[in-house]
Chains A and B, each alone.
Chain A
Amino acid sequence: MAEPPVSDAQLIARALVADDRHAFAELVKRHQSSVRACLRKLTAGNHALADDLAQDTFVLAWRNLKSFRQEARFSTWLYRIATNCWLADARKRKEELLGDRTDAIADDEDATMPHIDAMHADHARASSLKMDLERAMAVLSDAERAAIVQCYHNDLTHEEAAYVLDCPVGTVKTHVLRGKQKLKLALAAWAPTET
């Protein structure tokens, strides 16, 4: 008979009580995809930086595992650490990061444009939309981008996003609203036309 899956809480208890690194490795395996995806979104697609921040996130989680009080799901707690890591890093290298990203997107466009043909028009449209969305996200302030990523990409409620971002629920709603207004302006070309 197959053994029942071990819950996150049980793995955390093992890691805490017995200093069990295998249990923590299992937690990393379970949550690495969602944490890395969240950070890729926050870093506007910079995979290398996102993976470095994800590594920092799990190391911090290991060091502070004792302070995890089960007041939120483990994944939500990880998002909170990840967001803090990203915010701290973004403060340090904001200007450099934005400059590099703009250049990279411009290079990508130059490289891909000649290969578009009529057969792949839909795919090209979707890719183009994705790229425009990524670029528009990069224009948002850190707080707005973080709020949009938590509420849409990570599928959290406003209350959970407030826990992750360590701010009141009203502030999250304001950031989401302002972020969406900016996105609408940046993506105006993609808005459905009134008939």
Chain B
Amino acid sequence: MNRNMNPTPGTEPHAANAAATSARDWLDDLLDSDARDERSSYIADAGFTARVMHALPVPLTLPAWRKPAIVALWGVALAGISLALPSAFLDVVREGYRLIGAQPVSLSGMVGALVLAGTLSWTAAAYALRASE
């Protein structure tokens, strides 16, 4: 919606509104004059913006200690498992290393995978933008 909706370009919207519904009369003039008076008097901010900004909901920020605390908890948990079940822990680590180490990864394979991932992302982005237009 924009100002081009005004059916009579070059006139005030309310004047065009009045013309569209009925002939203008003394009440139209009275309302116009009152509206002009009101519009010409700017209401000073006087702390209003500050009041609004103070009333905005507080942004959800995580406390600074949360991330290191989570990392430390995971570390403690892993250390606990490795101490409680040393043989099971060593088996998991050994099998994991064997699984990853058994996969031969060449440079050309990595580049190919990156190109494929990039192409897929750009195609998806282009499709999403086209769909939202």
- Using a CB–CB cutoff of 8 Å, the interface residues on chain A facing chain B are 19, 21, 24-25, 28-29, 32-33, 36-37, 41, 51, 54-55, 58-59, 62-63, 71-73, 76, 129-130, 133, 148, 151-153, 155-160, 163, 173, 176-177, 180, 183-184, 187, 190-192
Query: Known: A37-B43, A55-B51, A62-B56. Is A191-B26 also a contact (CB below 8 A)?
Result: yes
Contacting residues, chain A, for B22 (C-beta < 8 A): 177
27 cross-chain CB contacts under 8 A: A21-B53, A25-B49, A25-B52, A28-B48, A29-B49, A36-B43, A37-B39, A37-B41, A41-B38, A51-B48, A55-B51, A59-B52, A62-B56, A71-B1, A73-B2, A130-B34, A133-B30, A151-B14, A153-B39, A155-B12, A157-B3, A157-B7, A157-B17, A159-B5, A160-B13, A177-B21, A187-B27
Q: B20 an interface residue at 8 Å Cβ cutoff?
A: yes
B128: interface (CB < 8 Å): no
Chain A residues with CB under 8 A of B6: 157
Q: How far is the CA of A71 from the CA of B7 in the complex (A)?
A: 18
| A157 with B5: CB separation less than 8 A | yes
* Residue pair B59, A19 in contact (C-beta under 8 Å): yes
Contact yes or no, A152 B32, CB < 8 A: yes
The total of interchain contacts (Cβ-Cβ below 8 angstroms) comes to 107
Contact B49 A32 (CB under 8 A): yes
Size class of B's contact patch?
Answer: 35 or more
Question: In the complex, what residues of A have CB within 8 A of residue B32's CB?
Answer: 152
A73 to B27 CA separation, bound complex (whole angstroms):
28
B31 in the interface (beta carbon within 8 A): yes
Contact of A173 among B13, B21, B27 (CB under 8 A): B21
Distance to closest chain B CB from A177 (angstroms)? 6
What is the CB-to-nearest-CB distance from A64 to chain B, in angstroms, rounded to a whole number?
12
| Contact status A25-B53, CB under 8 Å | yes
Nearest to A19 among chain B residues (CB) is: B59
Residues of B near A51 (CB, < 8 A) are 48
A157 touches B53 (CB 8 A): no
The complex places the Cα of A149 from the Cα of B55 at a distance, in Å, of 27
Closest 10 CB pairs of A and B: A33-B43, A152-B31, A159-B5, A72-B1, A157-B13, A58-B52, A28-B49, A157-B5, A153-B35, A152-B35
